[in-house]
């Protein structure tokens, strides 16, 4: 049972990471705009960085999921080969 929950930890946090990346970029840029009177440029730049960070998080999660799937398939092939050899 505990292993099932551990398996959900990685993909389950991707959504949170995406939301936080975008929000941090947006609000950080807006705060800097307010302090430096550069409206709306730093907000736009912050949002762009947030979206890029979110994209990177999604890419890393997909890469990790593909690696885990390949490992599982490799183990299954080895098990089948072992079974067929007997």
- Rounded to two decimals, the pTM is 0.74
Residue 34 maps to a domain: yes
Residue 39 maps to a domain: yes
Residue 52 maps to a domain: yes
Residue 76 maps to a domain: no
What pLDDT digit, counting tens, does each position of 16-47 carry?
999 999 999 999 999 999 999 998 999 999 99
Residue 84 maps to a domain: no
Give how many domains the chain has, as a whole number. 1
What pLDDT digit, counting tens, does each position of 59-82 carry?
999 999 899 999 999 999 888 888
Residue 86 maps to a domain: no
Provide the residue range defining the domain that includes 52. Answer: 2-61
Give the per-residue SS3 of the chain.
CHHHHHHHHHHHCHHHHHHHHHHHHHHHHHHHHHHHCCCCHHHHHHHHHHHHHHHHHHHHHHHHHHHHHHHHHHHHHHHHHHHHHC
Residue 28 maps to a domain: yes
């Amino acid at each position: 049972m505990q292993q099932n929950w551990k398996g959900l930890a990685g993909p389950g946090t991707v959504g949170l990471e995406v939301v936080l990346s975008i929000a941090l970029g947006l609000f950080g840029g807006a705060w800097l705009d307010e302090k430096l009177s550069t409206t709306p440029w730093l907000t736009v730049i912050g949002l762009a960085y947030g979206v890029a960070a979110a994209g990177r998080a999604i890419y890393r999660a997909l890469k990790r999921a593909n690696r885990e799937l390949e490992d599982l398939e490799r183990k299954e092939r080895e098990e089948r080969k072992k079974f067929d050899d007997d």
